[in-house]
Structure 1
Amino acid sequence: MTIDLYVMNLSPPCRAVLMAVKQLNLTVNIKQIDLRKGEHLTPEYLKINPVHTVPTLVDDGFALWESRAILQYLSSKYGANTSLYPTDLQKRAVVDRTLNFDMSLNSSVSTAVTMKLFRGTEPTEAQVKSFQSNLKTLDQLIGHNKYAAGSALTIADLSLVATLSVLFATENKELKEVPNVVKYYEGLKKELPYYNEVNGGLAEAFKQF
């Protein structure tokens, strides 16, 4: 079995997949892709992923991109006896729903927070409001629960934690308005033994970028 994983560590979706790999105790070949150098646009990479995004997984010749699809695939194939992606259809639907919500959250974090850091682009008022709304909605959805999509750790938690890590690394002021999110994030940060290995040094990395 040969698994290659193409990533850029600053990317939350990439780090979500990296955490899943750790949680599943998989051995993979990590291949760093430098987007600034255009490594995602080379003919070799485009043969694997024609939409030139990261992360991209190649499992024994089977190529798959989009982080949430990768999370679902890996947990279905290699984590059938874990809580990561329940086999019960209703429980799985809750995980899928949370993953889809995280997609919206990650997009709003990108437009309202990350683009300013990377490109110096100021977000519009609408983008800021969308980000604030998504974050407050997450705060309500989580409530006092330990996990976001059920009574045990799932791939939805890994995806959410990766997204939220950007806000904590940049000390985003909106975190003061979402105490449930803060408690949830800090709890998972302590629980996941690989958290710092995958997500450590983000604040410094953002500054250098």
Structure 2
Amino acid sequence: MAITIYHFPPSAPSRCAVLVAKALGLDVDIKVVNLFDKEQLKPDFVKINPQHVVPTLTDGDFTIWESRAIATYLANLYEKGDKLYPKDPKARALVDQRLQFCAGTLYPRIRAICFPVLFLGEIEVEESKKSSLEEAIGFLDIFLDENDFVTGNTLTIADISIAASLSSIIAVGWDVTAYANVAKWFAKCTLEIPGYMEINDAGAQQFGKAVKSKLAPGQI
């Protein structure tokens, strides 16, 4: 049976899963679940995923969600070679750490800014949230010191995850040029991640437009 990814293009984690599938050369059936229209709450989707989140992947009779779990699953099972997700324990641990940085630090700080704007009616961003995100981007800048990518000089699934997350807030208007390593890395990712413009940029721009339409002027 074909692999299916339930996907919402404005969602950074969702774009990550699709980008990893693309990088692995997989033929994936994409089914869009529009979160803005609350399609994730429809009974047929809740039956597949009781947490009703995207991305969700089905591979035959196997179902999994959470983008980094999907990324590692796909790479473990389908990668020819091990550049995207190295098999060496130390190299893999570093990729896993960067994935956890995205899941536990960078993306939550982006979400803390954007979710209240999109769904809770807030039109201003607290300075503490801005400072928190700046700190996370600063950590990323350190990771990239003397490296082309976040774990060294080879593109991995960690780069894909972090680039998808960061692209969302950049599309809102966040300026990362003060972080020279991050700016250089992000430009490289747009060129080297397979399908970046088609899969990621379009969705990030859609996300950015939605947030900006609800923000008060000058907030970001």
The verdict on a shared fold, with TM-score over 0.5 as the criterion, is: yes
When residues 165 and 26 of structure 1 are mapped into structure 2, their CA distance, relative to the original with a 3 A threshold, is same
Whether 1:77 and 2:80 are equivalent positions in the alignment is no
SS at 2:82's partner residue? coil
TM-score by length of 2: 0.87
Note if 1:151 corresponds to 2:153. yes
Alignment match, 1:20: 20
Note the alpha carbon deviations across 1:100-141, whole angstroms, 9 max, x for none.
101110110111245435654233333222111111111111
Displacement of 1:170 in angstroms is 2.3
1:53 Cα deviation (Å)? 0.6
**Alpha-carbon distance, 1:167 to partner:** 2.7
- Counterpart of 1:191, as a letter, is E
Alignment coverage as a number of residue pairs: 208
Partner Cα separation in structure 1 for residue 97 and residue 52 of structure 2: 26
Distance 2:42 2:169 in 1: 32
Work out the percentage of aligned pairs sharing the same amino acid: 37
Alignment of 1:5-84 (within 5 A): 5-84=5-84
What does 1:1-209 correspond to in 2, within 5 Å? 1-103=1-103, 104-113=105-114, 115-116=116-117, 119-121=120-122, 122-173=124-175, 175-201=176-202, 202-203=204-205, 206-207=208-209
Q: Which stretch shifts more, 145-154 or 93-102? A: 145-154
**Aligned-pair Cα RMSD in Å:** 1.8
Residues 172 and 209 in structure 2, CA contact (< 8 A), matched pair in contact too: no
Give distance in 2, aligned partners of 1:91 and 1:82: 10
Does 13-22 or 142-151 show the bigger shift? 142-151
Distance 2:111 2:207 in 1: 16
> Any conservation in 2 of the 1:40–1:53 contact (CA below 8 Å)?
yes
Q: Deviations over 1:39-72 (max 9, x none)?
A: 1112211111111110000000100000000000
Listed as ranges, the gaps of 5+ residues in structure 1 are none
Give the gaps of 5 or more residues in structure 2: 212-220
Higher relative contact order, structure no. (Cα contacts within 8 Å, ≥ 6 residues apart)? 2
Q: Secondary structure at the match of 1:176?
A: coil
